[in-house]
């Protein structure tokens, strides 16, 4: 009587034999295997790149209008956001003859604010040595600021003087006093809410 191997054993032996043959071929031709692997990885990267959605740079449009503060009346008014203060105010000029409008940054803690629940965080003017609103005691900006890497509020504050509405003195925005004004503004209120900018309509 002729002995036959069970099917499962025959398949197992055949599979091991094929694996052994493939291993021998791989051992004899490692460069070909490496080349094929690199080709497959490159093809995979190209396919992934083609399947990725197009990401175009999104540009954030700035506000067309900005808040300004009338130093004569203590009231807000709206002007073009790219206007450089001081600007002409509705009440006219200061007693010195200079424009009375300075930039104001208005904030609110409300999710959908209206003018009633908004407040002025701070006022801003350019830091020009000859500016009539500049505090004589404020630190002069000079070459020591040129080329310094600055981040966040310091970078934004280069060349700007700020103050709270109730303050008398203008201070450089990147100074310790200026950063203190900004830090205080962005502290959470008693409900844990953080103030956010409220643009004019």
Q: Dihedral of the CA atoms 60, 63, 64, 66 (nearest 10)? A: -160
- Is 14 a residue whose pLDDT tops 90? no
Count how many domains the chain has.
2
What does the alpha-carbon distance between residue 150 and residue 156 come to, in Å, rounded to a whole number?
Answer: 9
**103, 128: one domain:** yes
Number of helices (H), then strands (E), belonging to the chain: the values are 4, 7
- Any domain includes 56: no
**Element spanning 135, H or E:** none
pLDDT in tens, 29-70: 788 878 888 888 888 888 887 777 665 544 445 678 899 999
Q: Kindly report the pTM of this predicted structure.
A: 0.58
Residue position matching structure tokens 């003018």: 115
Q: Do 108 and 174 share a structural domain?
A: yes
Q: Is residue 57 part of a domain?
A: no
pLDDT, mean of residues 82-106: 91
Domain contains 177: yes
For residue 176, give every residue at least 6 positions away whose Cβ sits within 8 Å of its Cβ, in sequence order, or none: none
| 174 shares its domain with 84 | yes
Within this chain, do residues 77 and 11 fall inside the same structural domain, yes or no?
no
């Amino acid at each position: 009587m002729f002995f036959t191997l069970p099917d499962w054993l025959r398949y197992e032996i055949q599979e091991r034999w094929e694996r052994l043959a493939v291993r021998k071929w791989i051992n004899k031709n490692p460069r070909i295997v490496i080349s094929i692997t690199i080709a497959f990885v490159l093809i995979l990267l190209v396919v992934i790149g083609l399947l990725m959605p197009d990401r175009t740079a999104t540009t954030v449009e700035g506000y067309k209008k900005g808040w300004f503060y009338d130093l004569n009346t203590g009231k807000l008014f709206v002007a073009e956001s790219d206007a450089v203060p001081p600007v002409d105010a509705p009440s006219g000029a200061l007693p010195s003859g200079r424009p009375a409008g300075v930039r104001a940054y208005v904030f609110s803690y409300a999710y959908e604010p209206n003018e009633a629940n908004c407040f002025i965080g701070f006022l801003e003017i350019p830091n020009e040595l000859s500016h009539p609103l500049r505090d004589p005691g404020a630190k002069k900006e000079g070459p020591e600021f040129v080329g310094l890497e600055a981040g966040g509020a310091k970078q934004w504050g280069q060349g700007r003087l700020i103050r709270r509405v109730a303050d008398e003195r203008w201070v450089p925005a990147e100074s310790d006093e200026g950063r203190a004004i900004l830090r205080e503004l962005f502290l959470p209120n008693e409900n844990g809410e953080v103030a956010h900018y409220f643009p004019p309509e």
